[in-house]
Amino acid sequence: MTNATILVVDDEELIRWSLRERLKRDGYDILEAGTGREAIDRLGEGVDLVLLDYRLPDTDGLSVLRELKKLDPDLLVILLTSFVSVETAVEAMKLGAYHFANKPFNIDEVSATVARALETTRLRREVKQLRENEARPYTLRAIVGESDTMDALRQMVAKVAASPASTVLLTGESGTGKDLVAKTIHYSSARASRPFMNITCSALPEQLLESELFGHERGAFTDARMQKRGLLESAEGGTVFLDEIGEMVPALQAKLLRFLEEKSFKRVGGAHDIHVDVRVVAATNRNLEEQVARGSFRSDLYYRLNVLPIRLPALREHPTDVPALVDFFVDMFNREFKKRITGVSPTASNLLEHYAWPGNVRELRNIVERAMLLAEGQRLEAHDFGVLSTSPGSGDPFELPATGVDLEDLERSLVVQALRRSGGNQTRAAALLGLNRDQIRYRIEKFGLTTTP
Ligand SMILES: Nc1ncnc2c1ncn2[C@@H]1O[C@H](COP(=O)(O)OP(=O)(O)OP(=O)(O)O)[C@@H](O)[C@H]1O
Ligand SMILES: [Mg+2]
């Protein structure tokens, strides 16, 4: 790490000397200025912190402070002053001074204040950097797919992100992108610089989930030795993502509902209401309506969550996006594995487009990852996607059990499975069985199957 650079601004040579000697020993690089003008001129040399005398020959400290902050709003300034009125102090704080040191100052105190100030900015910069890194992958463009379905999804996400506080319910099968969309909503919204907090409701027992979410007071239960803030408090100004909301127990559902309606809650064992400003994004791969009908999910909470529902389509509902997604993941894993795979062969592409993707985009991602790890050539071939294809000539695709089979039953079962896997799409079901449309229609009629999944 390079040393921090400190600019010492004072017209008295002796004071500059004593500060310089001490701070040099502390390991900083020192620049000096005797006037306000000089201080502003030297700022361009890369300054992290300024020790600024309030009385300067050409101007006063406040004017210099104002100038410096205009040039670099993040600059740390510590004012050195012998007497100061309350108004001056307030004004200096408003202008963004970090601290005052009274003259004559104690050099150890100045040294400690400088160290603290630099540490604070270092941490602040680090958090900012981490947030930016975290946010980078979650722009609207991260939601890949050119189909109308995906266009509509992106438009909806953009609208929701722009509406500052609304609660959102994401539904969709596993692997359809609920996590991705929740983060994109957060990082494309005005809340982006505030925390995104995430909790999986099924991962914790009831009591733990409640105190994770709402926090607890000291002594609220046996293990509560200290007061603890919950996720809702820690996420102030940001977003809380409640994943697998369908698994939340009814008692907590009631507490969550109250929070959504009143924007306030009590910590476990707490008496007073805590008000926070967070957006709640909930997600589930369950059918909540069914759960409401069965009585395992509160209908009032369902209606409250369902004001802005976003349904993520299963991949088999937008198979035309498969090639774009494959390209996206090929690029991604090229970077990650330092490979130069150029793409996918036509046969492989066809195979991928006709597969039913029960595990949705996650499955596609995993399959591409595996293929890229195993591939020997520059291009991904059908056999690199071994899990999807049964390679011809490598023995019998099905082995006849010793007890034999009923061929009619087997055929019926395969047709049913193909239809189920393709979401009832006859063309794709046919492709899975190596049949054409007429051949599959014939079998659907023969077996009296309905094609609505
Ligand atoms: N449209 C998309 N574009 C790019 N990547 C996507 C898309 N949809 C999903 N993914 C990626 O697929 C993977 C699975 O998505 P995600 O984790 O968001 O699914 P999920 O709906 O939360 O699943 P689960 O219900 O199992 O939690 C992630 O790596 C995600 O980034
Ligand atoms: Mg998820």
What pLDDT, on the 0 to 100 scale, is given for residue 105?
84
What pLDDT, on the 0 to 100 scale, is given for residue 354?
86
Looking at residue 412, its amino acid is R
Helix axes 250-262, 206-214, angle to 10 degrees: 10
Cβ atoms 273, 219 nearer than 8 A: no
Looking at residue 368, its amino acid is V
* Ligand whose nearest atom lies closest to the CA of 179: 1
Neighbours of 296 (CB within 10 A): 16
Q: Output the six-digit token pair for 6.
A: 């400190």
* Helix-, strand-, coil-residue percentages of the chain, each rounded to 5: 50, 15, 35
Atom of ligand 1 nearest to the CA of 144: 3
Residue whose CA is closest, atom 12 of ligand 1?
362
Exposed e or buried b per residue across 316-338, where buried means at least 16 C-beta atoms within 10 angstroms of its C-beta: bbbbebbeebbebbbeebeeeee
Ligand 1 pocket residues where CB is under 6 Å: 143-145, 172, 174-180, 285, 328, 361-362, 365
> Ligand 1: distance of its center to the CA of 178 in Å?
6
User: Taking phi first (over 0 means left), then psi (-120 to 50 degrees means alpha), and beta for anything else, what does residue 327 get?
Assistant: alpha
Beta strands 264-265 and 379-380, pairing class: unpaired
Q: How high is the mean pLDDT in each 10-residue block of the chain (453 residues)?
A: 87 94 96 94 91 89 91 89 78 84 86 92 81 79 94 95 90 96 95 93 89 91 84 95 94 95 94 94 94 94 94 94 96 93 92 90 95 90 76 53 82 91 85 86 88 54
Q: Could you identify the residue written with the tokens 């926090």?
A: 215
> Mapping DSSP to helix (H, G, I), strand (E, B) and coil, where does residue 40 land?
helix
> Ligand 2: distance of its center to the CA of 177 in Å?
7
Atom of ligand 1 nearest to the CA of 173: 25
Cβ atoms 10, 80 nearer than 8 A: yes
Atom of ligand 1 nearest to the CA of 145: 1
> Mapping DSSP to helix (H, G, I), strand (E, B) and coil, where does residue 450 land?
coil
Outline where 136-177 has alpha helix (H): 148-162
Q: Output the six-digit token pair for 397.
A: 């695709």
Residue whose CA is closest, atom 31 of ligand 1?
180
* Ligand whose nearest atom lies closest to the CA of 177: 1
Q: Output the six-digit token pair for 198.
A: 């995430």
